[in-house]
Amino acid sequence: MGSKERKAFDNPVIEWVDSRLPVFTMMQKEYGVFPTPRNFNYFWNFGAIAMVMLITMIVTGITLAMHYDPNAANAFNSVERIMRDVNHGWMIRYLHANGASFFFIAVYIHIFRGLFYGSYKKPRELLWILGMLIFLLMMATGFMGYVLPWGQMSFWGATVITNLFSAIPLVGDSIVTLLWGGFSVDNPTLNRFFALHFLLPFVIVGVVFLHVWALHVTGSNNPLGIDVKGEQDTLPFHPYYTMKDTFGLVVFLIIYVAFTFFMPNSLGHPDNYIPANPLVTPPHIVPEWYFLPFYAMLRAITFDFSLYLCGAGAIGGYLIYQYAWRKAPDECCKSLTVPLLLAAVVLGVPGALLAFFKDVPALHGVIDMIPFKSVSLMPAKLGGVLTMFGSIAVLFILPFLDNHPVRSALFRPWFKPAVLVLLVVFIVLGVCGSKPAEGFWVPLAQIMTLAYFSFFLIAIPYFNNNEPVLKLPNSIHEAILAVPKSLVIGLLAIGLLAYAPSAAEAKVRADSEQPSPSAPEDKAEVPPVAEEATPAEAPATAEEGAAIAPEAKEGESEHAAPASEEAAHPAEGAHHAVPLPRQDWGFQGPFGTYDRAALQRGFQVYKQVCSACHSMKRVAYRNLSALGYTEGQIKTVAAEASITDGPNDEGEMFDRPGRPSDHFKSPYANDNQAKAANNGALPPDLSLIVKARVGGPDYIYGILTGYEAPPAGVELASTQHWNKYMPGNKIAMPPPLGDGAVSYEDSTPTTVDQYARDVVEFLAWASEPEMEERKQTGLKVIFYLVIFAGLLYAVKRKIWAKVH
């Protein structure tokens, strides 16, 4: 960058600036003429895509922070205010929430690309390590960001993850107290998480700068993994890769906005639309999908490390070291191999019995005979935490584990299948992480964890010494890629296309099946395509698993008060909720809209029936204009409620008629009064009920129409009722609707079924008042992006025409 070799610019203003601060010269050098290997495939787009996602997250994040209130009492409300009242707030928030997922998708693909083509190898070790640092910072940022909406998953996610540190011997509990700033996750925790969530992205920007700097020192790797030999191997970054990156970016954005505008909550958890409640944990806690593989490894360590296991492990480690890490084992070791193996087996059998087969009744007799079985060198909790952090640590040290001379997997006959297996292992781990930790998911996660570490600690060192070194192409220029580029694009496109419908289908399945806690295993089949698809689909699919993993929604605080035990422990529950039938709702699908007449009828049902017990605090009377009511009608409706206001000049509270700006009046003064009036079961607020339940509108409709006489032999307490769609079947809410209970002004039938349909339509609107605007905007955005992508593709082809 020395000003000596600087070339003058024609534009006098640019020249004036550049001669004083050569930013333009630097841009020109690093992004204009920067020599870039000419054989990049589309996997090389994801660095630039990740960069754009980072900027998107910062821009949306800062605008959200202008409206967000990091206070435990008001955080949830302020997020809902962003969704309902702030101009375009719903769009900005959904862009941010889904942006996190797509940032991780881009980064995961970027990382796997580096892994596959050996981009972590000399001389790019530090580049890789900086990238891993970015990944780690992203995980911290993502985790803290998920806490901010202060819903149930936020709160319990924060509790679980901060409690990881309590596994640290001696100081663990003090560290956790320090993190919390109290004795549980609470307001101080939220405040500091907000501060850090705001700070860390800028730290990421700093490390990204170093990452890019390091890249520009060594230059990019390429699919062949061989060094650039000269000018004929490279192209200037601009316009070749600026255009190619932009085209790839726009294609990526199309998928991103499709999620944002048409299924904005499919990557989140319905539980997070329930305000945080420190007294009730949701039955099935899962982190965001991008943490699932690591979460699975955390949970895989279900056993204490007994003397036997550690002994067998030490011997195994020694043998692995001798046979995999060294070129040839020591002479003395060679002769000792058989006895050592024997010893490992002798120790391993009781070790394995204690670790994995403790619960098999047939083996109790044998296990009881093992001496010193209570001696444990490391508790399971610490083991799990170390395993999870270790799984990231091995990625950091990968450049030093792998010193095989060939970079790209294309020319590594052993590494290539191994790294693809690693991808599958990682995906399977993600699926395991999304399931309840029971049944065969536990051993599966354990085997996959072992496989994950074996790749780094056994396979890679072994390959160093034994994998044949193939003859590499002489230069990039000579090696016209054997695979036509269109094939790569085709595969990518097929993968993405195959994913979208399968995701939709999985969603449909989740919706159509009852969110019964009793049938987790048979629900969330991973669409098979994910297994062979690109890594883009991999994490997303794992997440789908999470999103559709069934959860028993009605917690203790809600209707299911006495029944929640069954709900949480499905295995013991004698009765299962029947599958939830899928209804045909006019407001679903990309073109769906609300039916105004149904909304008005639904509001009537809510007002005359539901509002006797259920509040709807987040909806204001003025919002009713969306139902087609006139200003005068709204004023009349509002004035029917008497709202407590004040204090007046005398310092007293007083009642006044409601105004359109007031929110719906709650039937009870506070939650305690509501509980007392309802046999201890709190009727949940209905403002978000459709978004806060797995199955959404189908579930609410199911509950409203699912009342039956209990099957023979079932005892119900006097305050309980039998509902075939309720998880656990026992519900505290008496059947709310009866034929003819509400008289409609038009000729719509006054049946329970019709009431249920209408009120669900109304509740769906209350949950997502922005839905129609969201879909309309989404269609426009996608239409625009598709045309733009077409234009960019034409531009890109024109520019590249000379090169091909």
Partner 1 sequence: MSADNSPQQHGPADGETRRDFLFLTAAAFGAVGAGSVAWPFIDQMNPAADTLAMSTTEVDLSPIEPGQAITVMWQGKPVFVRRRTPEEIKMAEDVDITTLRDPQTDEARVQKPEWLILVGICTHLGCVPQGQKSTDVRGEFGGWFCPCHGSHYDTSGRIRKGPAPKNLAVPKYTFLSDKSIRIG
Which residues 28-47 are close enough to bind partner 1 by CB under 8 A?
33, 35
The answer to whether 118 contacts partner 1 (rule: CB under 8 A) is no
Do 166 and 173 contact (CB within 8 A), yes or no?
Answer: yes
Tell me the β-bridge partners of 235. 36
Nearest Cα to Cα of residue 506 among 536, 528, 531: 528
174 catalytically annotated: no
Q: Provide, rounded to whole angstroms, the least separation between the CB of residue 92 and partner 1.
A: 6
Among 86, 158, 249, 427, binds partner 1 (CB under 8 A): 86
CB-based contacts of 16, cutoff 8 Å, min separation 6: none
Residue from 47, 84, 309, 721 in contact with partner 1 (CB under 8 A): 84
Angle CA 486–489–494, to nearest 5: 120
Q: 323 or 793, CB closer to partner 1?
A: 793
With contacts defined by CB under 8 A, how many residues of the chain interact with partner 1?
39
Which residue has tokens 């000419």? 38
Shortest Å distance, C-beta 798 to partner 1: 6
When the beta carbons of 52 and 510 are compared against partner 1, the nearer one is 52
Q: Which residue has the tokens 């500091």?
A: 192
Residue from 10, 20, 87, 183 that binds partner 1 (CB under 8 A)?
87
Q: Is 88 in the site for partner 1 (CB under 8 A)?
A: yes
Which one of 78, 119, 154, 220 is the catalytic residue?
Answer: 220
Tell the smallest beta-carbon distance from residue 100 to partner 1 (Å). Answer: 18
Among residues 18, 69, 80, 245, the one annotated as catalytic is: 245
CB 232 within 8 A of CB 477: yes
E strand segments, 672-781: 721-722, 730-731
Angstrom distances, CA of residue 756 to CA of 57, 681, 702, 751, 796: 40, 22, 9, 9, 54
| Residue closer to partner 1 (CB basis): 33 or 369 | 33
Q: Does 92 bind partner 1 (CB under 8 A)?
A: yes
Scanning 86-94, 335-343, 558-566, 698-706 for contacts with partner 1 by CB under 8 A, the matching segment is: 86-94
- Minimum Å gap between C-beta 695 and partner 1 is 30
Separation of alpha carbons 541 and 512, rounded Å = 19
- In whole angstroms, the minimum distance from the beta carbon of 135 to partner 1 comes to 27
622 touches partner 1 (CB under 8 A): yes
Are the C-beta atoms of 689 and 615 separated by less than 8 Å?
A: no
CB-wise, 660 or 710, nearer to partner 1? 660
**Least distance between partner 1 and beta carbon 248 (Å):** 15
Contact between 8 and partner 1 by CB under 8 A: the answer reads no
- Tell me how far, at minimum, the Cβ of 7 lies from partner 1, in Å: 15
**Closest distance between partner 1 and the C-beta of residue 201, in Å?**
16
* Residue list 230-259, contact with partner 1 (CB under 8 A): 231, 234-236, 239
User: 632-645 b/e with 16+ CB inside 10 Å = b?
Assistant: eebbebbbebebee
Shortest Cβ distance from residue 79 to partner 1 (Å)? 13
Tell me how far apart the alpha carbons of residues 176 and 180 are, in angstroms, rounded to a whole number.
Answer: 6
C-alpha–C-alpha distance, residues 162 and 307, integer Å: 29
Does residue 67 belong to the site contacting partner 1 (CB under 8 A)?
yes
**Is residue 239 reached through a cis peptide bond, with omega within 30 degrees of 0 on the bond before it?**
yes
- 80, 233, 271, 288: the catalytic one is 288
DSSP 602-650: HHHHHHHTGGGT---TT-BGGGGGGGT--HHHHHHHHHHSEEEE---TT
- By CB under 8 A, tell whether 613 contacts partner 1: no
Q: Do residues 651 and 670 make contact, with C-beta atoms less than 8 angstroms apart?
A: no
Q: How many CB atoms lie within 10 A of CB 630?
A: 10
Nearer to partner 1, 252 or 308 (CB): 252
* Angstrom distance (rounded) from CA 136 to CA 131: 9
User: Is 288 among the catalytic positions?
Assistant: yes
The encoded tokens of residue 496 equal 């993405």
Q: Would residue 663 show up in a list of annotated catalytic residues for this protein?
A: no
As given in the structure block, the two tokens for residue 331 are 């002479």
By the rule CB under 8 A, 390 interacts with partner 1: no
Active-site residue, 331 included: no
List binders of partner 1 among 777-796 (CB under 8 A).
784-785, 787-788, 791-792, 794-795
16-26 per-residue burial string, b: 16 or more CB within 10 A, e: under 16: eebeeebebbe
List the one residue from 170, 653, 669, 803 that touches partner 1 (CB under 8 A).
803
Bridge partners, residue 305, by sequence: 378
Q: Is residue 698 within 8 Å of residue 511, measured between CB atoms?
A: yes
Minimal distance in Å, beta carbon 390 to partner 1?
41
Interacting residue with partner 1 among 398, 620, 624, 682 (CB under 8 A): 620
Query: Does residue 404 carry a catalytic annotation?
Result: no
List 661, 670, 718, 747, residue binding partner 1 (CB under 8 A): 661
If the CB atoms of residues 88 and 326 are measured against partner 1, the closer one turns out to be: 88
Which helix (H) or strand (E) segment is 354 a member of?
A: helix 331-356
Asked if 398 and 507 count as a contact pair (C-beta separation under 8 A), the reply is no
Stretch 640-659 residues interacting with partner 1 (CB under 8 A): 649, 659
Contacting residues toward partner 1, per CB under 8 A: 33, 35, 59-60, 63, 66-67, 81, 84-89, 91-92, 231, 234-236, 239, 620, 622, 649, 659-661, 784-785, 787-788, 791-792, 794-795, 798-799, 802-803
- Catalytic sites, residue numbers: 216, 220, 244-245, 288
